[in-house]
Amino acid sequence: MYIYKEYYNGLLPNKPDSFLLLHFMNKAYLLLGSNLGDRKKYLSDAVTLLEIHAGKITLKSMLYNTAPWGVTDQDDFLNQAVCVETKLSAQQLLENILYIEEKLGRIRIQKWEARTIDIDILFFNSDIISTDNLTVPHPFLHQRRFALLPLSEIEGNFIHPVLKKSVKILLADCDQNLVVDLV
């Protein structure tokens, strides 16, 4: 984004063609989940790797123990929502997330299977993105109490850009009955 000097009352060099290029940080809300091995360590390692490969983690929810969703004959998940400020685009963030998941032993064979780590992009700014490999906001977010509860803890007033409701309202409206317990 270009901001011309007249908006800065002489703070920029006194040249008619001078301008300032501002770098805005993107804000992404992510849900981390693990139901294999040392679940707390996988979440902690994911946060560390996100700091290295994505950006600054500015908010973290508490940890929540959740019954599995989708494929239910597997161990419970440990979930945590985080907010990351990043210079990456949504696509670059996704690519780095996939790298982090692979680094932490994630193997993709079947949808909704047990995993060492799962990192979902719930929101990316207030963007609406639909590509072959990325949909934001997350298409199932409003149906998942295990995602809405930790997200509401860190950013309950965020407005879903498609549904036009706050995270708190989506949580109140969510009729999913899976048990979600604070750890």
pLDDT digits (tens, 9 = 90+) for 103-158: 999 988 777 678 899 999 999 999 999 999 999 999 999 999 999 999 999 999 99
User: Is 144 annotated in the active site?
Assistant: no
Write the single-letter amino acid at 128. Answer: I
**Per the residue annotation, which of 39, 118, 144, 145 is the catalytic one?**
118
The per-residue pLDDT for 178 is 83
Task: State how beta strands 64-66 and 180-182 pair.
Answer: antiparallel
Phi/psi region, residue 122 (left: phi>0; alpha: psi -120 to 50; beta: rest), is: alpha
**Residue 75 is a catalytic residue:** no
Count of CA atoms in the C-beta half-sphere (13 A) of 100? 26
- Pick the closest to residue 142 from 114, 168, 179 (CA basis): 168
Indicate which residue of 39, 120, 144, 145 is catalytic: 120
For residue 118, indicate whether it is catalytic: yes
**In terms of C-beta density within 10 A (0-12 exposed, 13-18 middle, 19 or more buried), how is residue 92 classed?**
middle
| pTM of the predicted structure, to 2 decimals | 0.86
Residue range 25-182 forms a domain whose CATH class is: alpha beta
Q: Per the residue annotation, which of 38, 76, 108, 115 is the catalytic one?
A: 115
pLDDT of residue 3: 35
Point out the catalytic residue in the list 39, 106, 144, 145: 106
Is residue 39 among the annotated active site residues?
A: no
What is the rounded distance in angstroms from the CA atom of residue 128 to the CA atom of residue 67?
29
**What distances in angstroms separate CA 156 from CA 114, 167, 170, one per listed residue?**
28, 5, 9
Per-residue pLDDT for 13 more than 80? no
What would the pLDDT profile of 33-90 be if each residue is shown by its tens digit?
A: 999 999 999 999 999 999 999 999 999 999 999 998 777 788 999 999 999 999 999 9
